[in-house]
Chains A and B, each alone.
Chain A
Amino acid sequence: MKLTINGERRDLDAATVAEALAALDMGEARVATALNGDFVPASARAQTALSPGDALEIVAPMQGG
């Protein structure tokens, strides 16, 4: 499925947010996700279906002021 992940166009074999994270090798990472601008809690990733063209953001804590 064609998705935009962290601003990059990717072709990923994933039907849900959880599957996308696993496909990106981030299944175990401490990250947070938002789909098309809306927060997807970790507990909802397995039930949150992806559609072609979706924009998935995957973030982690970083340096900040």
Chain B
Amino acid sequence: MPLFYGTEIASPLMLGTAQYPSPAILADAFRASSAGIATVSLRREAGGGQDFLRLVEGLGAAILPNTAGCHSVKEAVTTAQMARELLGTDWIKLEVIGHSDLLSPDVIALVEAAAELTAQGFKVFPYCTEDLSVAERLLRAGCEVLMPWGAPIGSGLGLNNPHGLRALRAAFPEVPLVVDAGIGRPSHAASAMELGFDAVLLNTAVARAGDPVAMARAMAQAAEAGRAACLADPIEPREMAAPSTPVIGKAFLQ
């Protein structure tokens, strides 16, 4: 099971808390999936924050605050500082957004923010791309987890670059890796886990499904199945057929 900064999490599914039809459905989705980590944001308090805080603290999942919507190092660092005080955790899902259409990470600012936050004692979970040199810089900046996107946030496209994700896995066999963003179907979650990733983080695919609770359960099952398959050492694909039934001993019938 995933090990993040020395803490073992009992599920390979990490779930966001946004966009559910109701707080009750959010709580049911967590119950149905046994997701191990819940991501939250920080937003201006307009009256709802106190109830929400009680809700997420009762989910039975570790809380991972994010810096969603931050476009600069300064914004991300200040947001992380506020999150640490509010939630009593030094974990931070670091997002520094570079492009508003794709919500892709600004990897240059990301590395800078990761170094600054690590120096301040944070345990950084960077939302990054599958680029190997960026990954290397993030690790050098002090990150002990990497969270490359599968596809743009909320797109549901799945794994846009499975070869790149596979290369990342091979390059950093000891680093916990999470596919964060882009997962739309359970098959995407299973594929990520089959590649050897330690966990998947998703939100929209569950929260916006017709039945979020059933989809949360399906995602958890898929992540578990993909993990089990990876551990079971799957066969390599081949171009031509290979008979599974023995050829020897077939009756001669002509």
Contacts and interface: CB of A to CB of B under 8 A. Distances in A.
Interface residues of B, dominant DSSP: mixed
Given A29-B50, A32-B83, A32-B86, A65 B66 contact: yes
Interface residues of A, number: 23
B203 interface: yes
A34 interface: yes
Interface stretch (B12-20, B168-176, B187-195): B12-20
Interface string B39-74: 111111110111011001000000101101000001
A65 B153 contact: yes
Interface residues of B, number: 36
Contacts of A60: 42-43, 45, 48-50, 52-53, 86
Contacts of B83: 32, 61
A65 B42 contact: no
B49 A64 contact: no
B44 A30 contact: no
Contact of A30 (B18, B53, B154): B53
25 contacts: A6-B45, A29-B50, A30-B50, A32-B82, A32-B83, A33-B82, A34-B78, A34-B82, A41-B85, A42-B85, A59-B86, A60-B45, A60-B49, A60-B52, A60-B53, A60-B86, A61-B53, A62-B52, A63-B17, A64-B16, A64-B18, A65-B18, A65-B19, A65-B66, A65-B153
Given A62-B41, A65-B68, A65-B153, 8 more contacts: A31-B49, A37-B78, A59-B42, A62-B42, A62-B52, A63-B20, A64-B18, A64-B42
Interface of B: 16-20, 39-46, 48-50, 52-53, 56, 63, 65-66, 68, 74-75, 78, 81-83, 85-87, 153-154, 203-204
